[in-house]
Structure 1
Amino acid sequence: MTKAQQPTTEPARLLNELDTPAHLAQSRSSALGPGAGSGTGRLGSAPINVQVLQHIANCDGAVAKFINDARAAADSKPVPLPAGRSAVYREAARAAAVLGADWEQHLEAMTWRATVESELLLGDATRIRQQPCPDCSTVGLVWVRAIRRISCVNRHCAATTPDGSHRIWTVAQLSVVRVGLQPLKATG
């Protein structure tokens, strides 16, 4: 592999190393002992996408930060986060409900963003296509993978920008707009 062909990110480089003959030989010998691995099957570590793991860790970190911020806003005493991912998300929803509609909308925007980003990592942009454009309300937003942004495909919407370029948004911007367009939930 030439230097121009080598991946620039660390996770991509590590994933490429998993397919090298040296790695396969090492994983075979370490799994079955020295000299084993002369069969036709390959043993090694399970394939894993490091980018997906990093995304999950980032989402979990954002929810933990949300809970800590909510506890600080409510002047409650610091306690450890509950064990388990689902328990942490339930705690975030409970904390948001205690603090009111603004916090609930913030959590909903965070959750929608994390969901969409997870789907995009898996190649699914359906949820984006179902959203109306924040400017022209046309349903038909598209995910542009090359720039990692969302764009409106309506040529009349694009023509309204001063420079005539397409209107584009990040997933975070669209999640905030999406939650802001929904009516506030009745409280109490």
Structure 2
Amino acid sequence: MHAGDDTTPAARLQMLHTEYLQPGRGPQNERVTTSTTPAAPLRLAVYDHIKAAVDEATAHTRTVAPGAEPRPTELASLYEWVVASTAHLDTARQQARDALIYRQGLEHAILMGDTAVIRRHPCPACSTWSLFWRTERRQAICVNRHCTDGDGTSWSWTLAQIAHDHIARGLATVSRAT
């Protein structure tokens, strides 16, 4: 990841805060107020998402590293803090941390309307590039007609499963290369 990379989870979280928190940008699925009540000065769904992501990352870090330094107030530094605070953990716990961060990055992108991030991942079952995001199910669906369960139903994957698979594949590639 290099400076200016807007595809990192931290950059996406910061972009949600600076670009999508104010009304008028992003998906138009916000709660609508009546004409007698003024509109909220910010997008409540985006605010709730940012708060939940920060709270989850903080809780995870505090659970596995109770002695961690205080969390930074800048959103752009949140994930750096999580990684630095948990660098001493064993490989399995670092993998779980990385999957949490990666999943949150996918969530941030999808909230900003970028569902194509799912297409950049192979299906965990058949390894083909056949995943599509289904908003109504909040899952990725494999459209490969040969990738079905015993009943002929297409496999579907949560963002947590995709993130776990992505991180595991990355570790497998690194271990094969060394």
For the criterion TM > 0.5, the same-fold answer is yes
Q: Is the partner of 2:147 in helix, strand or coil?
A: helix
Q: Is the partner of 1:22 in helix, strand or coil?
A: coil
Where structure 1 has 5 or more consecutive residues not aligned to the other structure, the ranges are 1-11, 25-43
> How large is the Cα RMSD of the aligned pairs?
2.5
**For each residue in 1:62-95, what CA deviation from the matched residue of structure 2 results, as whole angstroms up to 9, or x when unmatched?**
11112212224xxxx4754343334443221112
Is 1:146 aligned to residue 147 of structure 2? no
Using the aligned pairs only, state the percent identity.
27
Q: Is the partner of 1:64 in helix, strand or coil?
A: helix
TM-score, normalised via structure 2 length = 0.72
Q: Is the partner of 1:143 in helix, strand or coil?
A: strand
Number of aligned positions between the proteins: 147
Is 1:137 aligned to residue 153 of structure 2? no
Moved over 6 A (4+): none
Compute the displacement of 1:151 (Å). 0.6
Compute the displacement of 1:138 (Å). 0.6
Query: Within 1, Cα distance between the matches of 2:36 and 2:81?
Result: 46
Instruction: Tell me the residue number matched to 2:32.
Output: 16
Is 1:69 aligned to residue 93 of structure 2? no
Compute the displacement of 1:105 (Å). 1.6
TM-score, normalised via structure 1 length = 0.68
CA separation of 1:45 and 1:156: change in aligned 2, threshold 3 A: closer
Query: Within 2, Cα distance between the matches of 1:96 and 1:68?
Result: 9
Query: Within 2, Cα distance between the matches of 1:63 and 1:53?
Result: 16
Instruction: Tell me the residue number matched to 2:51.
Output: 57
**For each residue in 1:100-157, what CA deviation from the matched residue of structure 2 results, as whole angstroms up to 9, or x when unmatched?**
3223222221111111111111221111111001111110200111211111010011
Query: Within 1, Cα distance between the matches of 2:30 and 2:130?
Result: 37
Q: Is the 8 A contact 2:79 2:101 kept in 1?
A: no
Q: How does 1:112-127 map onto structure 2 within 5 Å?
A: 112-127=102-117
Rg larger in structure: 1
Query: Within 1, Cα distance between the matches of 2:89 and 2:31?
Result: 43
Q: Is the partner of 2:63 in helix, strand or coil?
A: helix
Compute the displacement of 1:162 (Å). 0.9
Pick 1 or 2: higher relative contact order, CA cutoff 8 A, min separation 6.
Answer: 2
**Aligned residue identity for 1:94:** A
Match of 2:160 among 154, 157, 172: 172
CA separation of 1:113 and 1:13: change in aligned 2, threshold 3 A: closer
